[in-house]
Structure 1
Amino acid sequence: MMDTLRSIKSLRLSEYHDNKGFDQILMQIFGLPRSGKSSFINSCEFALDVSKFKKYAKPGHSKRGKSAVRRSHQLTDSIWMVNNPGLRAIHAFHDGEIFAQLGDFLPRDEELEWSECKETLYRQHDRLNDKDRLKILFCEFIVPVFVHSISNPISEEEIPLYKELLDTTRKMTGMNPFVVLTHKNHKGKNSMTNIFKGMGIKKIFTVENYAVKNHQPVREKHEEMLHFFIEVINEVKLSLKDRITPKDERDERLRFVVKYINRSDEQKTEEEQERRMREQQKKKMHEEIKKRHNDQKKNTPKEIGKASEPKNGIKEHKNVSETSFLSSHWLMVFIIAVLAVFYIVVTKSN
């Protein structure tokens, strides 16, 4: 274990053959709230320095309209970790803020308005073709690390969202995300691992973080953390040969993020327009139904029974009386005619 620890601490990416100009490894830690991101960073720092345990990383706290602070942590001369708290919910990544964080376009260790950050991104994007643009100051190889708690189940409906998040991260960074599953002693470890394997994730690590109340050094925990570092370093070395310069990569990431945000804003505008249209149609339909109901109410007599029955009764009584009178009249005429015929016949016979 000590040899592994020394190899991690002695890493100098700038001394590696064909490093393309990269001299730092930047692990971008992201995940949902209470997934164990801060505890994982604390555990990694403890594994690299077994003499002490300190609560280096603290959970990020967001305010309405604010971007939570991106806390940066230097673990060795060549390895950094940044705790990115921009993913407030699994469906919240569509606004693009988390990708701006993972692309390292938002300042570290300070709180800013997300709207201001977007304006800064647009200004940087507009200057991409300026020849006098300042030279890039950061030459860090970005490694996305998604942290998720096994105690937080993923439903069937949520799986496509997780996959979209991780796929978009891969496209933006050019690196397949590492997945760290915390609370490995939870009973759902195997099923959670299979879920992420089904999303196409190759590098999956299950760990049990150290905590403030429980930080007695455990060899197994330390080995888990050190194994994670070794895998990251090996993946970076393998990927370097296919990379372009840090400046060109940053420019590509910036174009990707701005395009993603624009597309997301357009989609939100379209959805808002559709929502308003549906509301207007619903309101119009309700008004038509109400108008039709009022028209029917106007055309319908107020009293069907009491007001109409006496009139109809009188009319019907009148018709019956007239019919009876006519019938009696013709009966009398018929009787008189019969008597008259009878009288004539009798008279002739006499």
Structure 2
Amino acid sequence: MDIRQLKDNIRSFSLEDGDLGSQGYKRVLLQLFGFTGHGKSSFINSCMYVLEEGENFIEYAEARETLEGYTMIRNAYPLTDQITIVDNRGCSKLNDFERAEVYAQLGNCIPIGQKVDWEKNYSAMMEAIENSELEPNFTDFLVPIFVYRATKMINEMEEVKTFMENCVKMTGIVPIIVIAFKTKGDYLEVEKQFRLMGAETVIAIENYTTESKIKTLGRTTDILMVIDSALRNVRFHLEQPRNPRRERIERKKFMYNYIHQIHLHQEREKHEKEKSEREKEKKKQEEERKGICTLL
């Protein structure tokens, strides 16, 4: 498929195209996730750039090519009238509640435009989920996209694999994998790792930037292919009967159960720690008594 066809497919995409129509969806939400500094914001800028004519590159999403990351707010960027791409907050290393926040973003439990704070306890996380029901969003068709830079081997394989599996549970879609910084690392090895974790679509790209904005056939095609792959997923799933309201309820159930399991895990760890400290204190006291007896 050439660039013109890819652009036409994206620009003309409509949720009403299938035999069953939109089934209540109003927008496709391309949900970007990944670790901090792996190129999510740059990918958004690249998507906007390849769909526009000319060489006028605009940095819509502020990007930094560092591992510290920059995005703190869930920002959305319309690609067409029916397709929006979302820059979700990334993580450097996830703890339990940070993982829950990632899934809360994926499930639209955190409104677009809102700052994403890493909640640190059960009550705060549950309150955030409840507050999301004040203005429930069930009309977005969610497509997860995971961005990972080719310059890093995957050290968090179990963590990433679990994320991919939970994406399927929440959206029904296996995340599309975007390997960024294609020319700066061994992207073939990274792709192999993702394939072994169950990835179905893996596309390596080189983002456009203010310093590197001359459009080329290969770079433009790769970026357009990511969007096109997401839309093919949407078309496939809209061939089956769906219920957006029911799906949101199921995502909410997933979040409640996930947060509850985190809470139970932390309570067990707390109990084990307290038990260990009591045993250490008891042993210390016994040794002190033995020492006194020896002196006597």
Q: State the AA in 1 paired with 2:264.
A: E
One-letter identity of the residue aligned with 1:30? F
The SS at the match of 1:89 is coil
Contact 2:18 2:238 in 1 (8 A): no
Q: How much does 1:272 deviate?
A: 1.5
Contact 2:148 2:177 in 1 (8 A): yes
Partner residue in 2 for 1:11: 13
Is 264-273 or 193-202 further displaced after alignment?
Answer: 264-273
User: Can you list the C-alpha shifts for 1:231-277, whole angstroms capped at 9, x where unaligned?
Assistant: 11111101112352211111111111121111111211111121121
Instruction: Show the counterpart of 1:264.
Output: 262
- Name the structure where helix makes up a greater proportion of residues: 1
- Closer, same or farther in 2 for the Cα pair 1:41/1:95, shift >3 Å? closer
Task: Name stretches of at least 5 consecutive residues in structure 2 with no aligned partner.
Answer: 65-70
Aligned partner of 2:45 in structure 1 is 42
The corresponding residue for 2:105 is 101
Among residues 201, 218, 221, which one is paired with 1:223 in the alignment? 221
The two structures, once aligned, show a CA RMSD in angstroms of 2.3
Post-superposition offset of 1:195: 0.7
> Partners of 1:124 and 1:54 in 2: how far apart?
32
- CA displacement 1:80-102 (0-9 Å, x = unmatched): 11111153414556651110000
Q: CA, structure 1 residues 187+150, in 2 after alignment: closer, same or farther (shift >3 Å)? A: closer
8 Å CA contact 1:91, 1:161 repeated in 2:
no
Whole-angstrom distance in 2 between the partners of 1:90 and 1:192? 20
Call closer, same or farther: CA 1:25–1:180 in 2, change over 3 Å. same
Identity over the aligned pairs, expressed in percent?
27
1:239-258 maps to which residues of 2 (within 5 A)?
Answer: 239-258=237-256
Against the structure 1 CA distance between its residues 273 and 137, is the aligned structure 2 distance closer, same or farther, given a 3 Å change threshold? Answer: closer
Q: In 2, are the aligned partners of 1:14 and 1:21 still within 8 Å (CA)?
A: no
Equivalent position to 2:27, from 24, 28, 34: 24
For 1:144, the aligned partner's letter is: P
Instruction: Name which one, 1 or 2, has greater alpha-carbon Rg.
Output: 1
Tell me if structure 2 keeps the 8 A contact 1:14–1:22. Answer: no
Are the counterparts in 2 of residues 26 and 80 from structure 1 also a CA contact under 8 Å? yes
Name the CA distance, whole Å, in 2 between partners of 1:120 and 1:43. Answer: 32
Offset of residue 186 of structure 1: 3.1
- Structure 2 partner of 1:211: 209
Letter of the aligned partner of 2:110 in structure 1? L
Give, as a single letter, the amino acid of the residue that structure 2 aligns with 1:122.
E
The count of aligned residue pairs is 282
Distance 1:284 1:166, change over 3 A: same
Residue 291 of structure 1 deviates from its aligned partner by 2.9
SS at match of 1:81: strand
2:151 is the alignment partner of 1:147: no
- Note if contact 1:183-1:208 (Cα within 8 Å) is conserved in structure 2: yes
Q: Give the gaps of 5 or more residues in structure 1.
A: 61-66, 126-132, 300-350
Amino acid at match of 2:77: H
Q: Which amino acid aligns with 2:106?
A: L
Secondary structure of 1:185's aligned partner: helix
TM-aligned CA distance change 1:295 to 1:117, over 3 Å: closer
Aligned with residue 129 of structure 2, among 101, 113, 121: 121
- Give the alignment of 1:1-350 within 5 angstroms: 1-18=3-20, 19-51=22-54, 52-59=56-63, 68-92=72-96, 95-111=99-115, 113=117, 115=119, 118-122=126-130, 138-155=138-155, 158-296=156-294, 298-299=295-296
Cα contact 2:41–2:63 (8 A) shared by 1: yes
TM-score, normalising length: structure 1 = 0.74
The alignment's TM-score, normalised by the length of structure 2, stands at 0.87
Go from structure 1 to structure 2 and tell me whether the alpha carbon gap of 1:268 and 1:192 turns closer, same or farther (over 3 Å shift).
same
Distance 2:131 2:92 in 1: 26
